[in-house]
């Protein structure tokens, strides 16, 4: 068993293992059919999409196609074109590439085949405002919703109503071609319609529901968005005939990554308690709950065997301040405050895509002496939390986890190790 000085390295190894088992280059080929005869078009969107395209060409050779991924996430492909765009708030590069993707699949015939590779982040990267809306309208709604604390399922429900590509519209544009959509899930529950706002999956939502979501989270939409929602309308319904030749398949999910990390921990003699892979809610509230669990476990435990508490899902942050942060770092800061320097508890909270919020930081680690070191350095952790400045706080301590692009995305990874 490693001593306590090695525990931060252990938690990082568990996180790296969770990322590794979701790497498209390792898993995607096993889900591919033999390359179909005739015209094959590969379309991809999301933070993992360029890596997915790379895996396809490793199996099939050069292909015709188009990828839209986050800036810095491109991969070398022989035939598939890679376009980078903004995330989490869309930009013009994403709009232009999405329009090109719709043009690429329009006009295909019954003998053609479309391979769609979908992963988290595709909601922002696939951006085609419906008629009457502008990119600025979409940006305003996205920015305000992401700052409101709304769960991702509701954020995506609104996005589908404002989009010409989400909610099954991309698949409908490719009709009557046959389509196989392979997905890497970053959403609680792994529902295909929630991954990247379901561009290949029909949706039963409506405009009235989207308007209710905006009102509930105190988001005032631009006038053009309010008028569009008032007129009504819906994405492509699940039973639409244009979706009859579409197959959607999730090939990697948060549960698989958590299981791999749990198995690695058990192999090192650690007891594992899994809280679930679909936890949602305000980062500070979830952190307080997890801190209470960890403190109780530490009081109740006997013997020397450590306990690991693992969880996944997608937390949210309601922004009140002007700091730099994300759900994982905010969870870590709130956790440190709730633990109050309790000995024998280490923690790590990271996003498996390597990006927490909008920053190029995966997350942060918490140590028993986090608060003591912060105060010795003149940092006020409570004030940092109030400003939503968790990234600034952990950067000052040198406790950020920076991975660079991981080229996959199976959502949040949280681990607490208790002795």
Residues comprising the chain, all counted: 419
Phi (first) and psi of residue 403, to 5 degrees: -105, -20
How far apart, in whole angstroms, are the C-alpha atoms of residue 389 and residue 333? 9
**pTM over cut 0.75:** yes
What lies within 8 Å, CB to CB, of 281 at 6+ separation is 151, 315, 316
Q: Which of 323, 331, 346 is nearest to 417 (CA)?
A: 346
For residues 124-131, give the mean pLDDT: 96
For residues 157-165, give the mean pLDDT: 96
Chain position carrying tokens 């990234």: 391
- Tokens, residue 24: 């498209």
Task: List, in sequence order, the alpha helices (H) in 81-185.
Answer: 92-105, 122-125, 135-148, 152-161, 169-174
Residue 106, pLDDT score: 96
* Domain 32-252: which CATH number of 3.40.50.150, 3.30.390.30, 3.40.50.10180, 3.40.50.620: 3.40.50.10180
For residues 18-32, give the mean pLDDT: 97
Residue 1, pLDDT score: 34
Q: How confident is the model at residue 224 (pLDDT cuts 50, 70, 90)?
A: very high
**For 244-297, how does the pLDDT look when each residue is reduced to its tens digit (9 = 90+)?**
999 999 999 999 999 999 999 999 999 999 999 999 999 999 999 999 999 999
Q: What is the DSSP string of 187-255?
A: STT--GGGGGG-TTS-----HHHHHHHHHHTT----HHHHHHHHH---S--TT-GGGTTEEEEEEE-HH
Residue 235, pLDDT score: 80
**For 322-341, how does the pLDDT look when each residue is reduced to its tens digit (9 = 90+)?**
999 999 999 999 999 999 99
Q: Any idea which fold 4-19+255-418 has? A: glycerate kinase, domain 1 (3.40.1480)
**For 237-256, how does the pLDDT look when each residue is reduced to its tens digit (9 = 90+)?**
999 999 999 999 999 999 99
How far apart, in whole angstroms, are the C-alpha atoms of residue 376 and residue 190? 43
How far apart, in whole angstroms, are the C-alpha atoms of residue 328 and residue 168? 31
Residue 304, pLDDT score: 86
Residue 6, pLDDT score: 61
Q: Which residues of 30-44 are buried (b: 16+ CB within 10 A; e: fewer)?
A: eeeeeeeeeebbbbb
For residues 148-162, give the mean pLDDT: 94
Residue-range domain boundaries for the chain? 4-19+255-418, 32-252
Residue 393, pLDDT score: 98
pLDDT higher than 80, residue 359: yes
């Amino acid at each position: 068993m490693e001593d306590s000085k090695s525990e931060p390295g252990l938690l990082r190894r568990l996180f790296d293992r969770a990322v590794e088992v979701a790497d498209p280059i390792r898993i995607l080929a096993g889900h591919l059919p033999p390359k179909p005869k005739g015209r094959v078009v590969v379309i991809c969107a999301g933070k993992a999409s360029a890596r997915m395209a790379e895996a396809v060409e490793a199996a099939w050779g050069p292909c015709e196609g188009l990828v839209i991924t986050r800036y810095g996430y491109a991969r070398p492909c022989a035939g598939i074109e890679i376009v980078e765009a903004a995330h989490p708030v869309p930009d013009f590069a994403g709009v232009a590439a999405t329009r090109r993707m719709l043009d690429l699949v329009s006009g295909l015939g019954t003998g053609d085949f479309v391979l769609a590779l979908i992963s988290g982040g595709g909601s922002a990267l696939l951006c085609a405002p419906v008629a009457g809306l502008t990119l600025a309208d979409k940006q305003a709604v996205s920015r305000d919703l992401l700052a409101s604390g709304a769960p991702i399922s509701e954020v995506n429900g609104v996005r589908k109503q404002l989009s010409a590509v989400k909610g099954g519209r991309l698949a409908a544009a490719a009709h009557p071609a046959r389509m196989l959509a392979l997905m890497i899930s970053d959403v609680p529950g792994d529902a295909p319609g929630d991954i990247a706002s379901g561009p290949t999956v029909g949706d039963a939502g409506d405009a009235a529901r989207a308007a209710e979501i905006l009102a509930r989270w105190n988001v005032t939409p631009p006038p053009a968005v309010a008028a569009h929602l008032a007129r009504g309308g819906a994405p492509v319904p699940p039973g639409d005939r244009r979706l009859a030749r579409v197959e959607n398949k999730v090939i990697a999910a948060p549960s698989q990554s958590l299981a791999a990390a749990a198995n690695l921990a058990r192999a090192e003699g650690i007891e594992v308690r899994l809280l679930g892979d679909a936890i949602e809610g305000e980062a500070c509230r979830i952190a307080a709950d997890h801190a209470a669990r960890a403190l109780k476990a530490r009081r109740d435990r006997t013997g020397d065997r450590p306990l690991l508490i693992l969880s996944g899902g997608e937390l949210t942050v309601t922004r009140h301040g002007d700091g730099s942060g994300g759900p994982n770092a905010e969870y870590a800061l709130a956790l440190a405050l709730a633990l109050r320097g309790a000995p024998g508890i280490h923690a790590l909270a990271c996003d498996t895509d390597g990006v927490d919020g909008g920053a190029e930081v995966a997350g942060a680690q918490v140590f028993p002496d986090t608060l003591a070191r912060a105060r010795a350095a003149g940092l006020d952790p409570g004030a940092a939390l109030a400003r939503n400045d968790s990234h600034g706080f952990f950067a000052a301590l040198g406790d950020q986890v920076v991975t660079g692009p991981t080229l996959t995305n199976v959502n949040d990874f949280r681990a607490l190790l208790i002795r």
